Amino acid sequence: MRRLLTILTALAVLAVPAATAVAKPSKADKREAQRECRDERGTTDATREAFKAKYRNFGDCVSQKAREAKAERKEARTNAQRECREERGDTEESREAFRAKYGTNANKRNAFGKCVSQKAKAGRAEEDAEDAEEAEERKNAAEECDAERGDTAESRKAFEDKYGTNANKRNAFGKCVSQNAAGDDESV
């Protein structure tokens, strides 16, 4: 019985660090997230209101975007490794051609790493371009919703009735932005 208890205790002690060892986003991920959040927040009152409706504050945006950037980086690397393995092939001739194309040192043995690096960087650039496009769509949707909301009490009431979904209809602007940004995605 004592032996079993000792084993279970040792397993529990080893399991705790493994559970808490979830990798956090890197500093580069956080810098990228800050840049994306600044871009999405914009400079007009309408874009800032839409930003606040979506994220509440800048810190929440950075946290969310940093986690997304980490996941994008990991996915880009995994995809790049798969693509490079496929490109490298199984025959000696295809491996030699692969080394000649990507290898940079004397014996060309760094070809796989160079291939992965190039393809991962291209994948990340593509993801960043998509993120920038989504941010631009949200900013445009915010401007459209601000114009639709109008300045008069009657137009604001009609706007709240059209888009608001909670009891006090205060979520109308955020819902409008979300619908318009999603509608832009479908039309492309």
What would the 3-class secondary structure string for the chain be?
Answer: CHHHHHHHHHHHHHHHHHHHCCCCCCHHHHHHHHHHHHHHHCCCHHHHHHHHHHHCCHHHHHHHHHHHHHHHHHHHHHHHHHHHHHHHCCCHHHHHHHHHHHCCCCCCCCHHHHHHHHHHHHHHHHHHHHHHHHHHHHHHHHHHHHHHHCCCHHHHHHHHHHHCCCCCCCCHHHHHHHHHHHHHHHHC
Residue 66 lies inside a defined structural domain of this protein: yes
pLDDT of residue 20: 43
Q: How far is C-alpha 53 from the chain's CA centre?
A: 19
Predicted confidence (pLDDT) at residue 2 exceeds the cutoff of 60? yes
Residue 30 lies inside a defined structural domain of this protein: yes
Residue 127 lies inside a defined structural domain of this protein: yes
pLDDT of residue 11: 63
User: Among residues 66, 60, 62, 51, which one has the least CA distance to residue 134?
Assistant: 51
> Residue 80 belongs to what domain range?
23-187
Residue 17 lies inside a defined structural domain of this protein: no
Count of the separate structural domains present in the chain: 1
Give residue-wise pLDDT tens across range 112-157: 999 999 999 999 999 999 999 999 999 999 999 999 998 999 999 9
Whether the pTM exceeds 0.85: the reply is no
Residue 99 lies inside a defined structural domain of this protein: yes
Instruction: Confirm if 27 and 60 have CB atoms less than 8 A apart.
Output: no
pLDDT of residue 6: 67
Q: pLDDT category, 186, cuts 50, 70, 90?
A: very low
Give the mean pLDDT of 58-66: 94
What is the C-alpha separation between 5 and 132, in angstroms, rounded?
Answer: 55
Residue 150 lies inside a defined structural domain of this protein: yes
Give the mean pLDDT of 166-183: 89
Residue 11 lies inside a defined structural domain of this protein: no
What is the C-alpha separation between 63 and 138, in angstroms, rounded?
Answer: 19
- The average confidence (pLDDT) of the chain is 87
Residue 7 lies inside a defined structural domain of this protein: no
